[in-house]
Amino acid sequence: MAFVLGVDSSTQSTKVEIRDADTGALVGSGRASHPTTSPPRSEQDPESWREALVDARHDAGTPGVVAMAIAAQQHGLVALDCDGNVIRPAKLWNDTESAPDAEWLVEQLGGPEPWVKACGSVPVASFTISKLSWLHRTEPETFGRLARVLLPHDWLTYRMSGRFTTDRGDASGTGYWSPSEGRWRPDLLEVVDDTKDWDACLPEVLGPTETVRKRDGAVIAPGTGDNMAAALGVALQPGQVAISVGTSGTVFTVSNAPVTDPKGYVAGFADATGRYLPLVCTLNAMRVIDAFARLLQVDLATFDQLALAGEPGAGGLVLLPYLDGERTPNLPEASGTMAGLRSDVTREQVARAAVEGVVCGLLDALEALRVGGVTVRPADGTLLLGGGARLRSVQRVLADLTRCSIVVPRGEPVATGACVQAAAVLHQSAPSEVAAAWHLGTGRPVEPDLSIDTRAARSAYAELRDRYYATS
């Protein structure tokens, strides 16, 4: 029996799974926390990710593995010098200090559409190219030492292998790799600085089943971004909708052709198989629920019970959950707004409003996919992923507001997807074939309560959102 290791290095923690390379059966799992961050400045020492990986691997038990893959939070910036040393704390995807740089970059090419044509997406504060512009503008001495530009999963793979590599999925979230052309676009980096040898700074992009290197008898796979790994971990099919409630919220599907949204709401990413992963992201998901649990002075389990006990519509209480700024719509300086407060407000209503606000924000993202021309079929059964998927209140509100069946897959989809990639490299099989053979993406369905009139809650949220957007 051979085992593979899959790693999910997220904003808040590292989670690992060990699975049977042939059947996908779970034989071990572990978890370790990362240092907390708080936007607008959201930074971590990359070494803390490696330490968490070691701790999580120890927590998972002792089975030896023959292959491994690392998936990690997308975007961000890990800056190295010519000796391969980290020269400053890593900028994470949810660091919004580069928002002015994103706006400046968009202007340099004449608006969103040229960026969409060049790299499939419009730069926002999350993207690596925006953070490089921030570094160039604010820390010129550090920028002058910059010799390698890596993403979080690239850096962890480098620490394991000694090679500078990435994959097409994670590369597509940088703002300087073209999914449609399948290549780096150093000309876009020249907008930031036209004197640096960008070709020398960028890692090699490996194919879905290429090997990075062998270490201690284990094959190291290319790895990928967290959303790309999640798609593998649930065997996501074209048009099928996945909604992830993690630190951020993401809504995505798989497409056989590249997607370009001229308005820029849809990120036209590549996936980890050779297909494409159109995605819309919100900055505010579990961090909102965590914040309101803290304000109510309860743990998550109690918060979940309070939100379930709250009536649909939260008694007229409405939350616009832009606590850390927002990415969809692109309002990096935004803050949260609550409307409908009365003197008889209850804890249950507050908890329910928090969950409904997060879910309504995610449904805005789903609508952005549709408007962006992406074929989505939520009625086929929407997959609910991320830490928030474990909360019954999130499951219930999402099912009721979409009026569709919600499926919560077993396991940790990102870590599972990394296991799929590791097994695919080991067996030299297509990742989609491995995912199908492991029967992934199944779980307990949550059916909507069709007797509930959800229009009032959706309308109240839309009214508050539109009023806020009009005055921003």
What is the Cα–Cα distance from 84 to 162, expressed in whole angstroms? 9
Nearest to 281 by CA among 318, 232, 240, 330: 330
236 alpha carbon, distance to own chain's centre: 15
Number of other CB atoms surrounding residue 147 within 10 Å: 17
The residue among 266, 101, 80 whose CA lies nearest residue 189 is 101
- Report the candidate in 445, 388, 424 with the shortest Cα–Cα distance to residue 232: 424
**The token pair that represents 260 in the structure block:** 């370009």
Give me 235's structure tokens: 């065997």
Beta bridge partners of 7: 16, 70
Angle at the Cα of 126 from the Cα atoms of 159 and 353, rounded to 5 degrees = 115
**What is 179-242 written as a DSSP string?**
TTTTEE-HHHHTTT-SSS-HHHHSPEEE-TT---EEETTEEEP--EEHHHHHHHHTT--BT--E
Handedness of CA 364, 365, 368, 374 (dihedral sign): negative
Give strand pairing partners of 20.
Answer: 3
DSSP 51-81: HHHHHHHHHT-----SEEEEEE-SS-BEEE-
Asked if 79 and 87 count as a contact pair (C-beta separation under 8 A), the reply is yes
Q: If you compute the radius of gyration of the chain from its CA atoms, what whole number of angstroms results?
A: 21
Q: Count other Cβ atoms within 10 Å, centred on residue 36.
A: 9
Active site residue 226: yes
Q: Which residues pair with 444 in a beta bridge?
A: 408
**Which residues make Cβ contacts (< 8 Å) with residue 83, sequence separation at least 6?**
none
Say which of 95, 154, 170, 226 is annotated catalytic. 226
373: tokens are 């021309």
Output phi, psi for 441, to 5 deg: 85, 5
Active-site positions read 226
